[in-house]
Amino acid sequence: MLDDCQLVELRKITDLRGNLTPLESFIDVPFQIARVYYLYDVPSGSHRGGHAHKELQQLIIAISGSFDVMLDDGTEKQKFTLNRPYVGLYVCPMTWREIDNFSSASVCMVIASEKFDESDYYRDYNKFREAVAK
């Protein structure tokens, strides 16, 4: 299942004035965008994530700085280091994610396929493992 989660090279439009990376549903992002949020000023040594989603899809991008994303499908794990604002990590449903190792002044932007819905979350790792084992 982790094979469905992958790095996505985003468009990068460059000219003398700088770079621009557009994010459009079904063109740059493989789903309809319903929500965008970002993490910043994450204290050194802190972790974010620590959950999985039943249906929600995400694209995670390091807008500034760098951080690591550990993905886990219940049987295997894979670590991705994000550090370029034109590369996103597609995270499919039923994938546990942990984000850590934030560099100073890093900004993590998350693009989501659904609005916030607490019932879509697995926040207990053991319950997540039970669900994916079925």
Residues serving a catalytic function are 51
The amino acid present at 87, given as its one-letter code, is V
Name residues whose C-beta falls within 8 Å of residue 105's C-beta, 6 or more positions apart in sequence.
64, 65
| In contact, 54 and 118? CB cutoff 8 Å | no
**Token pair for 108:** 């993590």
* Kind and range of the H or E run holding 98: strand 96-100
